[in-house]
Amino acid sequence: MPPFLLTWIHCMQSFRLPLSDCLDAAVTAAHAGAAILQSYAHNRAELVIDKKMRNDLVSQADREAELAVIEILRERTPQLGIVAEESGGQTSGAATWYIDPLDGTTNFLHGIPQYAVSIALIAHAGALIEGDTPLQHDTPVIGVIYDPNREELFTAMHGVGAWLNERRINCSQTELLSESVVATGFPFRDFSFAEQYMPTLDYAINNTRGVRRLGAAALDLAWVACGRYDGYWEMGLAPWDVAAGTVIVREAGGICEDMHHRDPWPIKGYVYAGNQHTAPALDAMIQPQLKKD
């Protein structure tokens, strides 16, 4: 092994991630970001809205909430990297924060109370989080999703569990897709994968108890984790859309994976999630439609 790689591994292994402290920091940051969002929620007419691309909007509410979140995380965890939806950033150190200051921007701007602040910590390969064995690949280890309208705080810590407002949560026990209520998201920004997606929607409409589309991916995943939904799938998302929800679903006893089964978490935004029965059924629904590289 090259000397520089040995040095890098040694440095990564010498730093053990303080997960409890990181979770506390993320919860504080989520509340701070949400307070800014809610201060704008009743004055939407005054918001300055920019269009990043078709159907992809941003306002000063997103930007100010993101700044508040970043300020707290930088102060509390200066050694960690930050990647945020509006300001960008880069991975660094033993772990990186992934921040979506306003998941469900279109809902927010139209006065639909279905949006959240989403914060996740991804520990990088080589980092120590428990015991003395370094991680073999990048792993979501902290997830925080805060819904300020319902005052619901979803949290999870790798290897410990998932909670809703400090109450332990678990995925549903539904075994059959035909008895499941599932959630999805339609193509809204990139329509190049529509021909892959539409057959899955048609199948789900005809083979489940119902399909819901509420427009906030983080909350869709959180609702899988607490058993409101039995499953969820979506294509074309960004990593900050799914990072927090991934660890929350997994710690609630569920499955949340990359549709292509290439990455250790759905970093490329092709995600499916559910309990131990429904997730494999969704995967079987999706696989015949995916384009193979």
Contacts of 105 (CB under 8 A, 6+ apart): 57, 58, 59, 62, 115
Q: Note the helical H segments in 77-193.
A: 105-109
241 is in an annotated binding site: yes
CA gap 74, 98 in Å, rounded: 13
Instruction: Return the ∠ at Cα 218 (arms to 240 and 77), rounded to 5°.
Output: 50
103 is in an annotated binding site: yes
202 is in an annotated binding site: no
CA gap 6, 14 in Å, rounded: 12
Token digits of residue 134: 């370094």
Q: Note the helical H segments in the chain.
A: 3-13, 19-41, 60-76, 105-109, 194-207, 217-225, 239-251, 278-286
CA gap 57, 106 in Å, rounded: 7
100 is in an annotated binding site: yes
Number of DSSP helices (H) and strands (E) in the chain, helices first: 8, 15
Cite the annotated binding site for Mg(2+) by residue number: 85, 100, 102-103, 241
Cite the annotated binding site by residue number: 85, 100, 102-103, 241
